[in-house]
Amino acid sequence: MASQVTALKADRDRLAADKAELHDRLLRRQADFDNFRKRAERDRSDFLQFAGMEFAREMLPILDDFDRALKVETADADYAKGVELIYARMYETLKKMGLEPMDTVEDQTILDEFQKGYTFKGKLLRPTMVKVAVRPS
C-alpha cells in the first residue's frame, strides 16, 4: 500500500510538473503570437502609409517638367493657363497623398534651385538640387 501511495505521489508530481511546463509553453506561444500580430499590423500600417511613395517618386520628373514649362514665357495665354491648371491639379492630388516640397534652407547661400526636393509623409523622397554660392579660396 505504501508503495502505491509513493507511486501515486510520484505520478502526481510528474503530472504537476508537466502541467506547469505546458502552461509555460502556452504562455510563450501566446506572447509569440501577440508579438507576431503586432508586427504584422505595424508592417501593414507602414505599407499602407507609404504605398504611394513609389508612385510619387515616378511622378517627380513630370512635376519638374511642369515647373520648367511654367517658367517659360509663351504668347498663347490660354495654353499657359491650361498647363498651370493641369500642374495645380496634379500637384494638389500628390499633396493629398502626402507629397510636400522641401523648403530651400539658408537663403544667403543658395543661388538657384534646379530641382525641387520632396518629402513623402515626412520621409525624404528626393533632395533639392541647388546652386550654392562658394567663395573662391
Q: What is the largest CA-CA distance in the chain?
A: 114
pLDDT surpassing 70 at residue 30 = yes
Binned at pLDDT 50, 70 and 90, residue 104 comes out as low
| Structural domain spans, the chain | 1-51, 53-132
Q: Measure the CA–CA gap between 72 and 130, rounded to whole angstroms.
A: 19
In contact, 85 and 66? CB cutoff 8 Å? no
Strand-pairing partners, residue 129, are 115
Binned at pLDDT 50, 70 and 90, residue 119 comes out as very high
C-alpha cell read off for 33:
503570437
Per the confidence metrics, is the pTM higher than 0.75? Answer: no
Average pLDDT over residues 63-86: 89
Average pLDDT over residues 57-76: 89
- Report the b/e string of 32-54 with b at 16+ CB within 10 A: eeeeeeeeeeeeeeeeeeeebbe
pLDDT surpassing 70 at residue 126 = yes
* Distance from the Cα of residue 96 to its chain's centroid: 15
Q: Measure the CA–CA gap between 22 and 126, rounded to whole angstroms.
A: 53
